[in-house]
A and B are shown apart, each in its own frame.
Chain A
Amino acid sequence: MGRYVARRLIYLFVVLFAVSAITFGLMHAVPGGPFDKEKALPAEIIRNLEKRYHLDEPLLNQYLRYVKEVFVPEFSTTKFSSNFEDDALFKFKIGGVYVKWMNFGPSYASRSRTVNDIFRQQLPISIQLGLMALLVAIIIGMPLGIIAALKQNTIFDYISMSVAIFGVSVPVIILGPVLIWIFAVTLKWLPATGWGSKPPYLLGFLPTSMGWNFFKYAIMPPVALGLASSAIIARLTRASLLQVVREDYVRTARAKGLQERLVITRHALKNSLIPVVTILGPMFAALVTGTFVTETVFGIPGMGKYFVISITNRDYPVIMGTILLYAVFLVIANLIVDILYAYLDPRIRYD
């Protein structure tokens, strides 16, 4: 298993090189640049800006410079300055040598922030939101799917699947304001906007205190974001369980005289979860990176908006950083899914 994970992590780097090269090529192929404004800047200023950010160099040099900045650690005997060029996601000191690693570069759109700042301050909030939305999706989706399958073609099935259809059909941009109107404006139970965690974060993304002051902000947004996914999980769980209860080994379990409850919990459920676990990986990646609308509706300072506005701004470093991040999430989430597979199904072994 250890070797398998190591191999997959090496693949991760291959994927990242491919994704970075394609993204880099595409974003430079699109017309327009970061300094094109409605009111055009004087040519002299644009030239200076491009020189400052090395945009006047050949594309290949720019790409190699980017790869070097991100992947290759830099060492120095003197302390790094706080200039954006000397910034990095990881800066530390070992035995008198200063090390910096992973500099994702400045943001062209907001001169005071770097992409590293976005990863340090906004990303943890989006991860928290995405994780909780995934949790909501599982907690609502799986029981709905199980009930629907066990009571197939009864009123329970129809109600569960109606809730699921409702969940997919109502977008966050409707559900969010409705939730705010009910729970914040009318009932005054929860705050309408904001987020309850601040840096520093445990492991880079976990809030340090998880009391009511955190959760009162973290109830409506995960529900709004996760409901559509819960509907997908519900439908998948239902279909999968319906298939499994027709399997021969479920009949064997009944023929052995097991109580119906044991037939389902011991013999059917674990088998039926395998396809559900498959979609959790991409679903998690999509939830963490698809938070734009939710964050806007609930006024959450996450990184969702950077995904969207970086494209229109042609903010090259932010585009590269967010796309690479998405790739990392997707690969790691799928790796975790594959590890879960081996746990769920003993026929799968990676050694």
Chain B
Amino acid sequence: MADLLTVQGLETRFRTREGMVHAVNGVSFALREGETLGIVGESGCGKSVSVLSMLRLIPTPPGKVVAGSAIYQGKDLLKMTDEEIRQIRGSQISMVFQDPMTSFNPVLTIGRQVAEPLEIHQGYNRAMAYERAAEMLNMVGIPRAKERLGDYPHQFSGGMRQRVMIAMALICTPQILIADEPTTALDVTIQAQIVELVKRLRDELGMAIIWITHDLGIIAGLADRVNVMYGGYIIEEAPVKELYTNPQHPYTIGLLNSLPRMDETDHRRLASIDGLPPVLLEKPGYCPFAPRCHLAVERCWNENPSLLRVGDQHTTACWVDPGTGRERQ
């Protein structure tokens, strides 16, 4: 399948009181048509910032995209005029945000907010847009959708609001849906419902998805390929099955070990990764995970590894082979 979106060497920095924080440090990936790409990592590893940078939704200042390109339909999203990117947002690439409580405008009705992209991008009049909005709400499983158009966000529960958010993102049938931790703020049963809903809509509408999460469990059933991020770098990239069965980066291994497993019979304590993710005030000349890595060798402290091919579609940024504990040849 053809690449729909190609991101190359994306770098984003934030000016803070402590200095320049390097949030995203040369992220490259491709998204193919109709595929679901998972991006996982701890809080603050640059997952959200990379996709927000792509759509130029980073508050500037203090944030700034300093390098890279994001080619969509032959044009670089990062070099477009404001008007060109505006016409792509919400119509061809749309986003679902993490917190359904704060991501809706509290003083506008749901109907108004869901119908808005149609009015903006496809010139629908208010009545037609509302009718289509009701259809969309119905599609994402809001009961009595038509009557609820006049309700305000606070009259919906968190899970319902996230459904509405998905309806709002998909109302213009975009090619790419970016979901930025859409289930993090929801409880577990609702999470499962939302994941099922997105799977169903993906099959019906055929859009490609970038799903950002720190929950490896959700990604397992949803994504085709997974990027693992750490400290603003992609440190491992693999098809989802390969990643779970044959993780090659000590960080990925650590993440997987911290998950409970259904098939385990002995009651082991869940493993955790010692230490905290780094706040990078300068680009490191060493592997950013080295301070927390029990496999780190001398080379890890002297040279930051770039992605090395370790399998057919599998790359990882690690000097050490976790199988042997020795440096890769």
The B96-116 residues at the A interface (CB cut-off 8 A) are 97, 99, 102-108, 116
Chain B neighbourhood of A259, CB < 8 A: 86, 120
B107 near A257 (CB under 8 angstroms)?
no
Do residues B91 and A255 form an inter-chain contact, with CB atoms below 8 A?
A: no
CA distance A248 to B116 in the complex (A): 17
Query: Are B116 and A258 in contact, CB atoms less than 8 angstroms apart?
Result: yes
Does any Cβ of A come within 8 Å of B4's Cβ? no
**Contact in complex: B107, A270 (CB < 8 Å):** yes
| Contact residue among B57, B82, B88, B102 (Cβ-Cβ distance under 8 Å from A247) | B102
Asked if A254 contacts B154 (CB within 8 A), the reply is: no
A250 to B, closest residue via Cβ: B105
Contact of B106 among A255, A262, A271 (CB under 8 A): A271
A255 and B104 in contact (CB under 8 A), knowing A246-B59, A346-B154?
A: no
Contact with B along A254-270 (1 / 0, CB 8 A): 11111110100011001
Q: Is the CB of B117 within 8 A of A254?
A: no
Q: Which of A243-300 contact B (CB under 8 A)?
A: 246-249, 251-260, 262, 266-267, 270-271
Which residue, of A248, A253, A255, A262, has the highest number of chain B Cβ atoms within 10 A? A255
Cβ A252 vs Cβ B97 within 8 A: yes
Whether the Cβ atoms of A346 and B116 lie closer than 8 Å is: no
Among residues 292 to 323 in chain A, which have CB atoms less than 8 Å away from a CB atom of chain B?
A: none
CB pair B97–A344 under 8 Å, yes or no, is no
The reply to whether B102 and A257 form a contact with Cβ atoms under 8 Å apart is: no
Q: Which of B55, B57, B107, B117 has the most CB of A within 10 A?
A: B107
Contacts of A3 in B (CB 8 A): none
Closest to B100 in A: A248
Specify which of B82, B94, B154 is in contact with A255 (CB 8 Å cutoff): B94
B89 and A255 form a contact (CB under 8 A): yes
| Total A-B pairs, Cβ < 8 A | 71
Q: Is the CB of A248 within 8 A of B102?
A: yes
Q: Are B88 and A257 in contact, CB atoms less than 8 angstroms apart?
A: yes
Chain B residue nearest to A247 in the complex (CB): B102
- Whether B121 is near chain A, meaning CB under 8 Å from some CB there, is yes
Given the known inter-chain contacts A257-B117, A257-B120, A347-B154, please indicate yes or no for A252 contacting B103, CB distance below 8 A. Answer: yes
Distance, CA A170 to CA B269, complexed state (A): 69
Do A257 and B57 contact each other (CB < 8 Å), given the known contacts A248-B102, A251-B97, A271-B105? Answer: no
Tell whether A345 is near chain B: CB-to-CB under 8 Å: yes
CA separation between A266 and B120, bound complex, in Å?
13
**Contact: B86 with A257, CB < 8 Å?**
yes
Instruction: Write out, one digit per residue, whether chain B residues 251-263 have a CB within 8 A of any chain A CB (1) or not (0).
Output: 0000000000000
Q: Measured between alpha carbons, how far is A347 from B91 in the docked complex, in Å?
A: 30
**List of A residues within 8 angstroms of B168 by Cβ:** 256
Q: What string of 1s and 0s marks CB contacts (under 8 Å) between B68-94 and chain A?
A: 000000000000001000111111001
Closest A residue to B86 by CB, please name it.
Answer: A257
Given A256-B116, A259-B86, A267-B108, A249:B103 Cβ within 8 A: yes
**B301 interface contact, C-beta 8 A:** no
Complex contact A249–B89 (CB within 8 A) = no
* Cα distance A255–B82 in the bound complex, in angstroms: 12
Given the known interface contacts A346-B107, A347-B106, the answer about A254 and B57 at a Cβ–Cβ threshold of 8 Å is yes
Chain A hits for B117, CB < 8 A: 256-257
Does B152 make an interface contact (CB < 8 A)?
yes
Whether B287 sits at the interface, judged by CB under 8 Å, is no
> B90–A249 contact, CB under 8 A?
no
**A336 CB to nearest chain B CB (Å):** 19
Interface residues of B in 265-307 (CB under 8 A from A): none
A255 and B105 contacting across the interface, CB-CB below 8 Å? no
- Decide if B140 is an interface residue (CB 8 Å cutoff): no
Which residues on B sit within 8 Å (CB–CB) of A266?
108
A253 to B116, CA, bound (A): 9
Given contacts A255-B55, A256-B116, contact A248 B90 (CB under 8 A): no
Which residues from A are CB-within-8-Å of B207?
Answer: none
Considering residues B55, B116, B120, which has the most beta carbons from chain A within 10 angstroms of its beta carbon? B116
Interface residues of A (CB under 8 A from B): 246-249, 251-260, 262, 266-267, 270-271, 344-347
The 3 closest A-B pairs by CB, nearest first: A257-B90, A256-B90, A257-B89
Knowing that A252-B105, A255-B90, A346-B154 touch, tell me 6 more A-B residue pairs with CB under 8 angstroms. Answer: A251-B97, A257-B91, A267-B105, A271-B105, A345-B106, A347-B152
13 CB-based A-B contacts, threshold 8 Å: A248-B102, A249-B103, A249-B105, A256-B90, A256-B94, A256-B117, A257-B87, A257-B117, A257-B120, A258-B90, A258-B116, A270-B107, A346-B152
